[in-house]
Amino acid sequence: MQHTLEIKDLHAAVETKEGRKEILKGVNLTVHSGETHAIMGPNGSGKSTLAYTLAGHPKYEVESGQALLDGQDLLKMTADERAKAGLFLAMQYPVEVPGVSMTNFLRTAKTEVEGKAPAIRSWVKDLQGSMKKLRMDPKFAQRSVNEGFSGGEKKRAEVLQLELLKPKFAILDETDSGLDVDALRVVSEGVNRAKEDNDFGILMVTHYTRILRYIKPDIVHVFADGRFIKTGGPELADELEETGYDQYLPEGSDSESALA
C-alpha cells in the first residue's frame, strides 16, 4: 500500500535558559512509501530537532505547520499514537531504560503497535532471527534496554526495532555514526531487509556518503538553518562531500561547521 508523509511549513522552537529559540524555520518535505531521502546538513542546523518534533518529543514546541501521514496530522497526536500511526525514529542517541528488559520492551511495543499480542512462537522466531542477522548476541534480549550498550550496539538495537515494528515511515538519525566498517554493512543490510519487507519510506539523516553506498538514496536534501535549502539526486551527496556546506550558509552564520 502506498503511504505519504507530508511536512508543510513546519516551525518549531525550544525553551532555553536564554529564552525561546526557534530551530525549525519552515520545513517542507513530501515522502512516499518506498522512497529513500538522505538529509545532510551542518551540525546544529536542526536535523535531530526535525526528527524529534515529528516523533513528538515534549521538549520541542510546534509553532505552526503540519505533518500529515496519509492526511492525518501527526502533530496532534501523542508520541505513542504517532508510532501506532506508523512513524519510527531511530535516535541519534538511544536512551537507556534500566530495569526494563529488551524482550519485555520489544514485546510490549509490538503489542501496542499492532493492537494485539504477537503469536508467541512466530514472535520468538522473528526476534531471534533479526538479532542473529544483525549479529547481536542473544544475551542482549535479557539485558535492560540500551543499558551499557556500546554506541554501535545501540544503533543495532534501533535497527532491530525497525525490523520488528514495521513502520510506514522510518527516520534514521545518524544511524551510521559510530559504526565500524563491518557494523555499517550489517546495519545497512538490516535497514534494506526491513525496507524490502515493508516498503516503507526512509528519511535518513547522515553526515557521510559512506552509508549511501549501502542504502541508496533516491533524493538528497541539504538542510541548513532550520529548513531544506536544496534538493537533488544522489550526485548531490558527493558534491557536498567535496565542497562542504559553506556555500549554503548565510554570511556570519553561527553554525558550528561555519565556525570551524
Ligand X SMILES: Nc1ncnc2c1ncn2[C@@H]1O[C@H](COP(=O)(O)OP(=O)(O)OP(=O)(O)O)[C@@H](O)[C@H]1O
Q: Where along the sequence are the contacts to Mg ion (CB under 5 A)? A: 47-48, 92
Q: What is the dihedral of CA 15, 158, 232, 251, to 10 degrees?
A: 30
Contact residues for 133 (Cβ-Cβ < 8 A; gap 6+): 186, 189, 190, 193
Q: Which of 73, 112, 189, 241 binds other proteins (CB under 8 A)?
A: 112
Q: Which of 32, 57, 193, 207 binds other proteins (CB under 8 A)?
A: 57
Cα dist. 152→100, 136, 208 in Å? 20, 11, 16
165 binds, among other proteins, Mg ion, ligand X, none (CB under 5 to 8 A by kind): other proteins
The CB-of-224 to other proteins minimum distance in angstroms stands at 26
Closer residue to other proteins (CB): 11 or 82: 82
Query: Starting from the edge strand earliest in sequence, which strands make up the sheet with 201-205, in order?
Result: 87-90, 169-173, 201-205, 36-40, 219-224, 227-232
Per-residue cell: 234: 544522489
Q: Does 94 bind ligand X (CB under 6 A)?
A: no
16 binds, among Mg ion, ligand X, other proteins, none (CB under 5 to 8 A by kind): ligand X
Q: Does 59 bind ligand X (CB under 6 A)?
A: yes
Closer residue to other proteins (CB): 14 or 219: 14
H/E run at residue 27: strand 19-32
Q: Give backbone dihedrals phi and psi of 212, rounded to 5 degrees, phi first.
A: -70, -15
49 binds, among other proteins, ligand X, Mg ion, none (CB under 5 to 8 A by kind): ligand X
What CA–CA distance (Å, rounded) separates 230 from 184? 27
Q: Does 108 bind other proteins (CB under 8 A)?
A: yes
Residues touching other proteins: how many (CB under 8 A)? 30
Q: Does 43 bind ligand X (CB under 6 A)?
A: yes
Q: Does 89 bind other proteins (CB under 8 A)?
A: yes
Nearest to 47 by CA among 255, 217, 209, 215: 255
243 binds, among ligand X, Mg ion, other proteins, none (CB under 5 to 8 A by kind): none
Q: Does 11 bind ligand X (CB under 6 A)?
A: no
The interface region with other proteins, picked from 99-107, 200-208, 218-226, 231-239 by CB under 8 A, is 99-107
Per-residue burial over 125-143, b = 16 or more CB atoms within 10 Å of its CB, e = otherwise: ebbeebbeebebeeebbeb
